[in-house]
Amino acid sequence: MKLFRIPLWLWLVFLVAGVGYAFHPFALKQMMKIEQNRLLAQPQPTLSTMPQRLDFTKQMADLTYLASEALAGRGTGQPGGAKAQQWLVTEFAQIGLAAAGTAGYLQPYQPTTGKAQLMKGAANVLGRIEGTDPTLPMLVLTAHYDHLGVHQGQIYFGADDNASGVAALLALARYFKQHPPRHTLLFAALDNEETGMWGARMLFEQELLKPAQIKLNINMDMLSQNTDKQLIAVGSYHYPQLEKPLQQLQQQSSVRLLLGYDRPAWLVGTHQDWTFSSDHREFHNRAVPFVYFGVPDHAHYHQPSDTVDNMDPEFYREVSETLLDAVLLFDAS
Ligand SMILES: [Zn+2]
């Protein structure tokens, strides 16, 4: 039966594919290990404390409110999400940010595909501080304020994910209102990250922002807990110009700032490429440089136990001061 005669080369292809398939999980684990070691080989911080420049008492009060029962996990389209939105508008106004949405501070929008299109009342909250040099492109600071909301009768509080990022965003806005930056800063509390990153996407699709106006996106998502005091800075693999300022930041910070988690999945495995894991994705997709700050995954991630009690305030304070240094460095360069 000539028809079923399989040439030797095809047998070899089958063999290689079979062995490759069986070997894949092992190879993935090895890749992850190599990437971990590569990250940990980076220099240790030398400072033991960070200066106190941000109003951390107010910042903790903001985080506690955002992650409280009253806001019920800030689900997009849920009453808690709407409440968070209104509260952010009030805060932005109190800080004295210039309204930068399409309806005052708000940029309402409607997701158009998937489950998200059932969600009503989605909106980003946007405010800006003008830079002292109007010829410079802007820095866009982002943190998503939505979380999973109420699901099957349970509140997903989202203290770390991402009340921590939003409270840091507000603290930075307060600081820069008192200390004018060179670049214009856009403060964007984004909606719908958990359900398709619609908030970030709509910044561009509604043409509120054009890629050419932006020097850098600094995205903050999950900042408040890691037992090894690790904070990851993602993005310099794609945008090597960020490496120098980030290495300087590494020296200044008292947390263990590690550059990485941004090399392609075929090198490091999908779990360790975070290029597309949060709102910075939408900037990267439009060739806008980004740096994403966040902690490694933890046991409370996307669990009802992601509460204020389970975060680490001292680590969070140090991370926030590190982020202030980051903005100062990028503003100076
Ligand atoms: Zn998040």
pLDDT digits (tens, 9 = 90+) for 145-196: 999 999 999 999 999 999 999 999 999 999 999 999 999 999 999 999 999 9
Q: Is residue 39 part of a domain?
A: no
Question: What whole-number distance in Å separates Cα of residue 183 and Cα of residue 134?
Answer: 7
Whole-number Å distance, alpha carbon 40 to ligand 1 midpoint, is 24
Q: Would you say residue 230 has pLDDT above 60?
A: yes
Q: Would you say residue 24 has pLDDT above 80?
A: no
Residue 137, Cβ density class (10 Å: 0-12 exposed, 13-18 middle, ≥19 buried)? middle
**Interval 39-58: pLDDT, tens:** 889 887 666 688 899 999 99
Q: Is residue 16 part of a domain?
A: no
Q: Is residue 47 part of a domain?
A: no
pLDDT band of 261, cuts 50, 70, 90? very high
List, in sequence order, every beta strand (DSSP E) within 185-327.
185-190, 214-220, 230-234, 256-259, 290-294
Q: Which domain holds residue 257?
A: 56-332
Q: Is residue 5 part of a domain?
A: no
Mean pLDDT of 209-229: 96
Q: Is residue 28 part of a domain?
A: no
CATH at residue 151: 3.40.630.10
Whole-number Å distance, alpha carbon 51 to ligand 1 midpoint, is 27
> Is residue 234 a contact partner of residue 283, using CB atoms and an 8 Å limit?
no
pLDDT score recorded for residue 38:
87
Question: What whole-number distance in Å separates Cα of residue 62 and Cα of residue 225?
Answer: 17
> Is residue 295 a contact partner of residue 224, using CB atoms and an 8 Å limit?
yes
pLDDT band of 60, cuts 50, 70, 90? very high
Whole-number Å distance, alpha carbon 133 to ligand 1 midpoint, is 33
pLDDT band of 28, cuts 50, 70, 90? confident
Whole-number Å distance, alpha carbon 41 to ligand 1 midpoint, is 27
Mean pLDDT of 202-218: 96
Whole-number Å distance, alpha carbon 239 to ligand 1 midpoint, is 22
Q: How many other β-carbons are positioned within 10 Å of the β-carbon of residue 198? A: 29
Whole-number Å distance, alpha carbon 122 to ligand 1 midpoint, is 16
Whole-number Å distance, alpha carbon 147 to ligand 1 midpoint, is 7
Q: What is the DSSP string of 33-87?
A: HHHHHHHHTSPPP--S-----S-HHHHHHHHHHHTSGGGTT-BTTSHHHHHHHHH
pLDDT score recorded for residue 260:
93
**Interval 97-147: pLDDT, tens:** 999 999 999 999 999 988 888 889 999 999 999 999 999 999 999 999 999
Question: What whole-number distance in Å separates Cα of residue 240 and Cα of residue 248?
Answer: 14
Q: Is residue 10 part of a domain?
A: no
Q: How many domains does the chain have?
A: 1
Whole-number Å distance, alpha carbon 318 to ligand 1 midpoint, is 20
Whole-number Å distance, alpha carbon 121 to ligand 1 midpoint, is 20
pLDDT score recorded for residue 23:
67
Whole-number Å distance, alpha carbon 197 to ligand 1 midpoint, is 10
Q: Is residue 138 part of a domain?
A: yes
Q: Is residue 167 part of a domain?
A: yes
